[in-house]
Amino acid sequence: MGILDFLTGEFIDVIHWVDDTRDTMVWRFEREGHAIKYGAKLTVREGQAAVFVHEGQIADVFSPGLYLLETNNMPILTTLQHWDHGFRSPFKSEIYFVSTTRFTDQKWGTKNPIIARDPEFGPVRLRAYGTYVMRVAEPAKFLSQIVGTDGEFTADEISFQIRNIIVQEFSRVIAASGIPVLDMAANTADLGKIVARAIAPSVAAYGLEIPEFYIENISLPEAVEAALDKRTSIGIVGDLNRYMQYSAAEAMGRGDGTAGATMGAGVGAGIGMAMGQQMGPWGAPPQAAPVAVPPPPPVEKVWHLARSGAVDGPYGRGHLGRLVTEGGFTRETLVWAPGQDGWKPAGEIAELAQLFTVMPPPPPPAA
């Protein structure tokens, strides 16, 4: 065996990667000393890309196909590597195979509740979860931004960062959407598209893309969901009075003491207040408190006076008091009022006799 044959046999001739893990995104081709034979065969299968890293720099990216590693199909690497064509010397480079297939059924979810303002219920806390699909769109960028020198990189290593991006954008989209909570289930597809568009620039910076994004569920706290179930039940029953009577009787029949708890428990922030206004004792509508109506003001009694053969009036008691002061009304003046039996002297009528008892005494004689 000649020295040339020995050197030829020392270096690998075929470079390829067969992945059976289904979660490996990047795999580094291992060769001691990273020695790649000039003219070796590189096989890149569908759903893969091969990235050459030469002396710390990304040199070439190969798409699916069969390649002979020569100067005519490695333009970038050729400018970095001096070739001794006579000796066909090997070159030392790292080769990373990147899976460009879709990584499906990736989970995401809100670790903490999201505060949103609902037009019907006011501030509410929401939780959500779902799945998404990711794939490597730019192998070179993904390798430089995320993988680095990791010899084997799996989807789990990047999924945590992707989930953080999703939850951040989902929270912003939900808070700004203005969609009522009760209508979100009917709009999950549209919300998913909005979130996917929102996270696209962030994941693109890593060389990734999210071709599919799904919202499986958006839920409220258990107490609020219980209140909604109660309101739904009331809506189905229809007659609130009969429903409350039935609930109370059923609870007492069980003997578990839940009647009082059922009647006194708050149904929810906005829903419970609405129900409380509708329910009275045992579910009966509340009776309005009687409103005290003041009595009508008394009708002032008036009198007619017989003076000088003529009838004057009618005059109220206050006006007659002024006539007493002026001397035009005395105890002997005949008076008559509605309901009175004939004319009588004013001094004989108790209501008018008081006018004459408050008369001031005559003035003292002049000094």
**Nearest-angstrom CA–CA distance, 131 and 144:** 26
Please determine, for residue 261, whether its predicted confidence score (pLDDT) is greater than 60.
no
Amino acid letter, 282: W
**Nearest-angstrom CA–CA distance, 136 and 226:** 43
Please determine, for residue 33, whether its predicted confidence score (pLDDT) is greater than 50.
yes
Looking at 173, 202, 220, the residue that finishes a domain is 220
| Span 230-254, average pLDDT | 70
- Helix, strand, or coil (residue 113): coil
DSSP one-letter string for 103-130:
EEEEEEE-SSPEEEEETTTEEEEEEEEE
pLDDT of residue 286: 55
Residue 184's CB: how many other CB atoms inside 10 A?
22
| Span 117-124, average pLDDT | 82
**Nearest-angstrom CA–CA distance, 100 and 91:** 27
DSSP one-letter string for 254-276:
HTSSHHHHHHHS---HHHHHHHH
Looking at 37, 69, 99, the residue that finishes a domain is 99
Whether the Cβ atoms of residue 59 and residue 33 lie closer than 8 Å to each other: no
Question: Tokens for 72?
Answer: 């005519």
Q: Which of 81-90, 276-285, 329-338 has the highest mean pLDDT?
A: 329-338
Shared domain check, 116 and 62: no
328: domain CATH number is 3.30.1490
Looking at 68, 99, 130, the residue that finishes a domain is 99
Please determine, for residue 239, whether its predicted confidence score (pLDDT) is greater than 70.
no
Please determine, for residue 343, whether its predicted confidence score (pLDDT) is greater than 70.
yes
Residue 254's CB: how many other CB atoms inside 10 A?
10
Please determine, for residue 233, whether its predicted confidence score (pLDDT) is greater than 60.
yes
Instruction: Find all residues with CB under 8 Å of 165, minimum gap 6, and list them.
Output: 199, 202, 203
Shared domain check, 116 and 45: no
Establish if 364 belongs to a structural domain: no
pLDDT of residue 213: 93
Q: What pTM did the predictor assign?
A: 0.56
Please give the residue range of the domain that contains residue 332: 303-357
Shared domain check, 107 and 84: no
Establish if 288 belongs to a structural domain: no
Structural domains in the chain (count): 3
CA-only gyration radius of the chain, Å: 50
- Helix, strand, or coil (residue 196): helix
Shared domain check, 121 and 68: no
196: domain CATH number is 3.30.479.30
| Listed range (56-60, 216-220, 233-237, 307-311) with the worst mean pLDDT | 233-237
- Is the bond preceding residue 360 a cis peptide, omega within 30 degrees? no
DSSP state of 137: S
